[in-house]
Amino acid sequence: MRNFLVARLMQAGIVAMVVGALCFLLMRVLPGDAAMRIAAGRYGPDARIAEAADKVRLELGLDRPVLLQFLEWLGGLLRLDLGHSLVTGAPVVDELQVQLGASVWLAASALLISLLIGPVIGVFSGMKPGGITDRTGLAGAVVFRAIPPFVLGLILMFILSKQLGWLPPAGFGSPREIVLPALTLALGLAAMSSRVTRNSVAAVARTPYFAFARHKGLPEAIVVRRHGIRNAAIPVVSYLGLQAVYLVEGVVVVESLFAYPGIGHALVHAIVERDIPMVQGTALVMGLMFVAIAALVDAISLWLDPRFGRAA
């Protein structure tokens, strides 16, 4: 257990360094004048951007050597200071708290809803490949996968807000407002996870030990619980772990459709506006979150199938 933790901490450290350096480098080599982008981000498209950019350049010292700026960022990082956003002027930590916080809530809600839908349908579909459940599940999965999330969101908004008046179409802050964006994300997610689950259950159902358990005359439910779910769950957990990351990163259009101040939206703005500290901070925190999620996924896989640890 201790080895596991130490390895994970080291991994986190490496990831943080690599991600930070890579972001810095990439943002630096992007074509175009960063000061212009920042000025446009700050003062909007009606302002005299060229003049504002000159002031921005002076204020932020964008002309200083690149290495110096990177070392400054690293120094700040050691003091747990991610710097200030170049566009809003607010501390990056504060912005992340609001936006990443909002995204984590959204992602968690979406994951929860999708877990109620996807794997359940998947298990039933996988038990009887080709049955009614399997076919309906397939059709559903394909529909929700083929509709772009913003169209799905708009349809849900149209039905649940405008026609039925149950939920507010947009906003954030109360549980009522999170339902629509979470549901939009969850349906797309459930579409995928139901099929992954279905295949993995179907694969397990074909294995000799599973067939043996059945032949032994054990009731179906017990067979599934004892032998099916555990083995089938490994690819599913691995897959869901990945999806969790996609979610935190935020399906940016869903956020902007529902006026939800998530990290995806913030990240797009930060990249377009060349807000380097914000991009670095976001990438860093998300990278670390990913390491945490990956550790969790591994721990769960280990618990599901102890042989995993031996092989690794």
Partner 1 sequence: MSTIDNVSPARGRARLSGSCASGAALLFLLAAFALLGPVLIPADPAAQDFSASLAPIGGDYALGADHYGRSLLARLAHGARLSFGLAFLTMLAAAVPGVLLGLAAAWRGGWTERLLELLATVVLALPGLMLVLLLLAFSPGNYGPLFLGLSLTLWVEFYRVTRAATKTVLAQPHIEAARMLGFGSGYILRNCVLPVIAPTIATLAAFAMATAIIAVSTLSAISVGLQPPTPELGSMIVELLPYYAEAPVHVLLPAMLIFLLVLGLQLVAEGDRA
Partner 2 sequence: MLRALFITFALGLAVTNNSAHAQVLKVAGPWEVTGIDPAQTGYVFSRLQVAETLVTADPEGKLIPALAERWSVSEDALTWRFTLRDKARFHDGTPVTAQTAAASLKRALSGVGVLSQAPVAEIVSEGRDVVIRLEKPFSALPAYLVHFSTIILAPSSFDASGKVRQIVGSGPYKVTSLTPPAKLELKDSGTWWGGKPGIAEVSYLAVGQGETRALMAESGETDLVFSMLPVSVDRLKENPGLDVKIATIPRTRILKVNAASVFFDDIEERQALSYAIDRVGITKVILRNPELAATQIFPPALKGWYASDLPPLSRDVARAKELLAEAGWTPGSDGVLEQDGKRFSVTLLTYSSWPELPPIATALQAQLREVGIEIKVSVGNSSEIPARHGDGTLEIGLVSRLYSIVPDPVGTLLQDYGPGGSDWGAMGWDNQEIQGLVAKLAVTTNPAERAPLQRRAVEILQQELPSIPVTWSELAIVSSKRITGVQVDPLEVNYGLAAIRWAK
Residues at the interface with partner 2 (CB under 8 A): 32-33, 36-37, 39-53, 55, 85, 87-90, 95, 98, 116-117, 120, 154, 157-158, 160-162, 165-176, 179, 256-261, 266, 269, 272-273
Min dist CB 208 to partner 2, Å, is: 34
Cα within 13 Å of Cα(23), Cβ side: 27
CA-closest candidate to residue 180, choices 149, 152, 157: 157
Min dist CB 228 to partner 1, Å, is: 12
Euclidean distance between CA atoms 240 and 48, whole angstroms: 47
Residue (135 or 176) nearer to partner 2, CB: 176
Partner from partner 2, partner 1, none binding residue 116, C-beta < 5-8 Å depending on class: partner 2
Partner from partner 2, partner 1, none binding residue 278, C-beta < 5-8 Å depending on class: none
Residue (90 or 143) nearer to partner 1, CB: 143
> 242 to each of 14, 168, 246, how far by Cα in Å?
19, 30, 7
Residue (50 or 74) nearer to partner 2, CB: 50
The torsion angles phi and psi of 91, rounded to 5 degrees, stand at -60, 140
CA-closest candidate to residue 277, choices 24, 9, 1, 3: 24
144 with 188: CB under 8 angstroms? yes
CA-closest candidate to residue 139, choices 203, 188, 191, 197: 191
Number of Cβ atoms within 10 Å of the Cβ of 109: 19
Residue (16 or 259) nearer to partner 2, CB: 259
Beta-bridge partner residues of 91: 84
169 with 162: CB under 8 angstroms? yes
Min dist CB 238 to partner 1, Å, is: 4
Min dist CB 278 to partner 2, Å, is: 11
Residue (158 or 209) nearer to partner 2, CB: 158
Partner from partner 2, partner 1, none binding residue 51, C-beta < 5-8 Å depending on class: partner 2
Residue written as token pair 């992954």:
196
CA-closest candidate to residue 254, choices 162, 157, 160: 157
Euclidean distance between CA atoms 23 and 134, whole angstroms: 44
Partner from partner 2, partner 1, none binding residue 75, C-beta < 5-8 Å depending on class: none
Min dist CB 311 to partner 2, Å, is: 37
Question: Residue 53 corresponds to which tokens in the numbers above?
Answer: 């950019």
Residue (29 or 311) nearer to partner 2, CB: 29
Min dist CB 246 to partner 1, Å, is: 7
Partner from partner 2, partner 1, none binding residue 147, C-beta < 5-8 Å depending on class: partner 1
Partner from partner 1, partner 2, none binding residue 161, C-beta < 5-8 Å depending on class: partner 2
Question: Residue 172 corresponds to which tokens in the numbers above?
Answer: 């954030």
